Amino acid sequence: MFTLKLLNDKRFVVSKIAFLLMSNFNSTYAVSHIIYCFSGDIQRIIRLILLFCRLFTYYFFHTFADNIKFNDRFYVYFRTIFAAVLLLNDIKIKKMKKLCVTFAFIIIFSPSLFSIPNFYLITIGEAKEPYAMYGHTAIRIADTALNMDFIVDWGVFNFDQPNFYINFAKGNMIYTTEAQSFQSFLYYNHRSGKGAVMEEILLNNEQKERFWMVLSKMLEPENRDYRYRFIYDNCATRPRDLLEIALQDELYYPENQLFTGTYRKMLHDYQSVNLWYNLLIDIILGSRIDIKPDIREQMFLPEYLRMYWKSSYVVDIDGVHPLLGDIVILNEKTPLSKTPFLLSPEVIFILLFLALLILDFLKKGRRFLRIFDMVFFGILLFFSLLIMFLWGISEHQEAYDNCNLLWLTPLYIFTLIGLIKNKKPLLIATCCYLLLFFILDICQVFPQQFPFTAYIITFIIMERCGAACFKDRKPIRQ
């Protein structure tokens, strides 16, 4: 009986229609609506205002978290205003009071409807892990009127994607652009001990709107995935490119470079915390990283992007002003432990070279030295094949034109045969080849900088060949 009376009540039905128009409610909003339906006019107005403030904020944030297109936000506004009009129709008061209530709604909703979020550049410091050694870049988008605070992250990848490890080896890594909570992002980096700083990107409303539209297009499902490139397309180059698209000729970079060296030397500054990883990168990356990048190209590293943006400026109708605001420290950087000097590749290989000389001079450990030769040259052949794979088959452009293939040559297979069979011509040819390599390198014929450890390894190779040639050494197999 009571239910039928409610259904016959026009005010209740209209309120229910408006309530159903707003999807994705939780129980809190449902309870608020029920209280509203059974309250007096004045209390109903107050609850209505509070209800819609909460509903609008929740609905917009919820749809945005699901990657709603930014240019569709007016559709959300329309649904909200339409529901508000239906609910206003439920209040039976004088026209003047209804006008006042409508005006109050305009005042309440106007900051949300016409607000433009602020953008911040977030720079994460380097870590010891290889994937985080060079730092990270993200864009924070914050709007207090909409209770919106999230970051756009270009460094997300999924280990569960099909053929992940095969694609990783071939250089076909698929990264994803994701929007995630700013607080969770900050908490994760705080737990990992990474330093983090934030600087506001100073744009006027028109520029913010353009930047917003560019970012929203990047968050669309069909544009979120991209093929990661170590130098040419990563988490630092993406925001650089998007800001250039949004500002076009209004953005000006500084004229003076912060660094005048090559890509390789820039990477050395970050890889110094792990000298063995530094050696590996020097071996597998080719001569394409031995060129000197310009200002824009140096922004592939997050810290260089931040420093260059700090020196950049924007020209608009208001005049000339810096691109970035004051720096805010989000997380203090935890000092990184570096590879001890005595455990560095240079020291280890020098000690190995001296130990081999002593053993050959004392004529000790003949069987050990033969086993060492097979293992040592087997490792050299493995890295030779790895360089050939990265250069010839993979899509790692940074590994192309690798001159390390000259001293890590696959011809060492003949050297290994010479050591096993005691074929002196093959061993002498190896020594002559390496001497020619040294002469050409001294003359700066090669366009690539070789790691210092490479010269020590070549001396070890020559020592093993010389020891086999000039000593009475029996072959392993008769």
Do 362 and 320 lie in a common domain?
no
Do 300 and 166 lie in a common domain?
yes
What's the confidence (pLDDT) of residue 472? 53
Q: How confident is the model at residue 14 (pLDDT cuts 50, 70, 90)?
A: very low
Do 174 and 312 lie in a common domain?
yes
Say if 263 falls within a structural domain: no
**Least confident window among 144-148, 173-177, 288-292:** 144-148
What's the confidence (pLDDT) of residue 174? 86
Q: How confident is the model at residue 445 (pLDDT cuts 50, 70, 90)?
A: very high
Say if 281 falls within a structural domain: no
Name the 3-class secondary structure at 294. Answer: coil
Do 110 and 138 lie in a common domain?
no
Name the 3-class secondary structure at 315. Answer: strand
Nearest-angstrom CA–CA distance, 349 and 370: 18
**Least confident window among 40-44, 92-96, 428-432:** 92-96
Say if 262 falls within a structural domain: no
Mean pLDDT of the residues in the chain: 79
Nearest-angstrom CA–CA distance, 229 and 51: 48
The answer on pLDDT for 329 being more than 90 is yes
pLDDT digit string, tens, across residues 96-155: 445 555 544 544 444 444 568 899 999 999 888 888 889 999 999 998 877 889 999 998
What's the confidence (pLDDT) of residue 436? 94
What's the confidence (pLDDT) of residue 449? 93
Do 109 and 122 lie in a common domain?
no
Do 250 and 102 lie in a common domain?
no
Say if 280 falls within a structural domain: no
State the residue range of the domain holding 46.
Answer: 2-114
What's the confidence (pLDDT) of residue 352? 95
Do 34 and 104 lie in a common domain?
yes
Say if 284 falls within a structural domain: no
Question: Quick one: tokens of 424?
Answer: 């002196």
Say if 401 falls within a structural domain: yes
Q: Of 126, 148, 129, 143, which Cα lies nearest the Cα of 196?
A: 126
Q: How many domains does the chain have?
A: 3
Mean pLDDT value across residues 384-409 = 92
Do 455 and 364 lie in a common domain?
yes
Do 397 and 441 lie in a common domain?
yes
Which of 83, 114, 145 is the last residue before a domain boundary?
114
User: What is the pTM (predicted TM-score) of this model?
Assistant: 0.73
pLDDT digit string, tens, across residues 204-250: 989 999 999 999 888 888 899 898 998 999 999 999 999 999 998 99
What's the confidence (pLDDT) of residue 148? 86
Tokens 């005006």 map to which residue?
103
**Least confident window among 19-33, 68-82, 370-384:** 19-33
Mean pLDDT value across residues 359-367 = 85
Do 158 and 232 lie in a common domain?
yes
Which of 70, 94, 114 is the last residue before a domain boundary?
114
Say if 476 falls within a structural domain: no
Say if 425 falls within a structural domain: yes
Which of 311, 331, 351 is the last residue before a domain boundary?
331
Nearest-angstrom CA–CA distance, 342 and 348: 7
Do 122 and 110 lie in a common domain?
no
What's the confidence (pLDDT) of residue 89? 52
The answer on pLDDT for 95 being more than 60 is no
The CATH number of the domain holding residue 125 is 3.90.1720
What's the confidence (pLDDT) of residue 458? 95
Tokens 């330093």 map to which residue?
195
Nearest-angstrom CA–CA distance, 321 and 203: 9
Amino acid at 319: G
What's the confidence (pLDDT) of residue 264? 95
Nearest-angstrom CA–CA distance, 254 and 258: 10
> What is the DSSP track for 9-76?
-HHHHHHHHHHHHS-S--HHHHHHHHHHHTS-HHHHHHHHHHHHHHHHHHHHHHHHHTT--GGGHHHH
* More confident position, 108 or 467: 467
Nearest-angstrom CA–CA distance, 388 and 405: 8
Do 399 and 351 lie in a common domain?
yes
Q: How confident is the model at residue 354 (pLDDT cuts 50, 70, 90)?
A: very high
